[in-house]
Amino acid sequence: MDQEIKENAVYTTSEAEKLLKISNSTMKRLLKKGLIKGNKIGHQYRILGKEILRQVSPKVEAKAVKSYLNLKEKVKNKIKSW
């Protein structure tokens, strides 16, 4: 059964590996090259669901970029009003 990848959920590297069906060494390589963005917490990486979805669906990435740019513009406008 396929598991749904939630855009705003935080995944461990092992969870992301299972979702993407890749090996641990491939995951390390993708993180090291910056092809998957992750935040290192202590000695472990945490990966947002958006990053996993970006690997499997360019349409989701485009939607995420558009959403981010809209939010960024709202924040800039709010700051200007201060």
- Per-residue pLDDT tens for 32-78? 988 899 999 999 999 999 899 888 876 766 776 777 788 889 899 98
Q: Please name the helix (run of DSSP H) or strand (run of DSSP E) that holds residue 46, with its range, or none.
A: strand 44-48
Q: Please state whether the predicted TM-score (pTM) of the whole model is above 0.85.
A: no
What is the structure's pLDDT at 34? 87
CB 7 within 8 A of CB 53: yes
Euclidean distance between CA atoms 43 and 54, whole angstroms: 24
d(CA 13, CA 19): 10
